[in-house]
Amino acid sequence: MISRKEFLKRSAFLAAGAITPFGVGAKLLSPAPSDITILYTNDTHARLDPFPDNAVEFAGLGGIARRASLVKKIRSESKNVLLLDAGDVFQGTPWFDVYGGEVDLKLMSEMGYDAMAVGNHEFDRGPDGFAEAAKKADFPILAANYDASGTPMNSFLRRLIVREIDGFRIGIFGLGIELDGVVSPDLYGDVKHRDPIAWAKGMTNSLRDYHKCDFIICLSHLGFQYSNGRMDDLTLAEKAGGIDLIIGAHTHTFLDYPVGVVNPEGKTTQITQMGHGGVRLGRIDLDFNSPDQKVTTSDRFYVIGEKTDYM
């Protein structure tokens, strides 16, 4: 875990944003849409209020009201905005202890989230508790590699979604972490975890070949990197082609800029993650105005509460 001082130092360095080559997709054959902005969060862990002013780390930062104000401001400036979350919305403060995630999902719905992935803490009240809270979610909850058949979760989970903006199609799918050893068996019950590599390949093939998507995003709760052989985002990018962007979670990794990995197709998959606790909002802009008509991107992040120009 980085210190708040180092966190803010890195944040200031990135405040102006950075240009990142994705090397994605083919040339556009139809008129390009206006630029598309992707906003994202992960591992907010029921942190609806800002961190206390006396917190050891991130004092005074975060808060879902501030996040909502920032998202509203960005939407007023950008025509096409997607808002995504990579999981672990549940658990971490009394808000979850009392309301079991219902308030979090209701507020995310009001904020206009387009989708979220299932994190391991979404199982903290079991499939029944998840289903009860998920009724408040007015957006898709994605988990392609979880088989929840026969459980209350099943009707609330989807494998993938497609968003079309002026003819440009963005495919989004979710991947969940191996449950064994992370979640108590009595909490995940009959939900089965399936190989994330195989399911990532299946989802990208479907999104590209059947749904004709131009850009593919994986909302991953696998974790950025491990040294024990557990499946992580770096390995996913190396072994599964066709993913343009992995928005990650679980390891609470503060990435100041996306990490590029050459995938099996020889293209670059970018991986990003915004730490935890809702202290950052990530942003990636898709730009359709390059001379060769290919999609380019720029990236940046915001520190929630550090600046007040969006309040």
Residue 43 neighbours by CB under 8 Å, 6+ apart: 86, 87, 88, 119, 249, 250, 252, 274, 275, 276, 277
Q: Measured between alpha carbons, how far is 245 from 224 in angstroms, rounded to an integer?
A: 13
Q: Over the chain, what is the mean pLDDT?
A: 89
pLDDT of residue 293: 62
Spell out the SS3 assignment of 273-292.
CECCCCCEEEEEEEECCCCC
CATH architecture of 4-55+63-303: 4-Layer Sandwich (3.60)
Strands (E) located in 2-126: 18-24, 36-41, 80-85, 115-117
Tokens representing 74?
Answer: 């960005």
pLDDT digits (tens, 9 = 90+) for 205-232: 999 999 999 999 999 999 999 999 899 9
Q: How far is CA 34 from CA 9, 93, 168, 210, 232, in A?
A: 33, 39, 10, 24, 33
CB 165, CB 288: distance < 8 Å: no
Residue 91 has pLDDT above 70, yes or no: yes
pLDDT digits (tens, 9 = 90+) for 64-78: 999 999 999 999 999
pLDDT digits (tens, 9 = 90+) for 283-301: 999 988 766 667 788 899 9
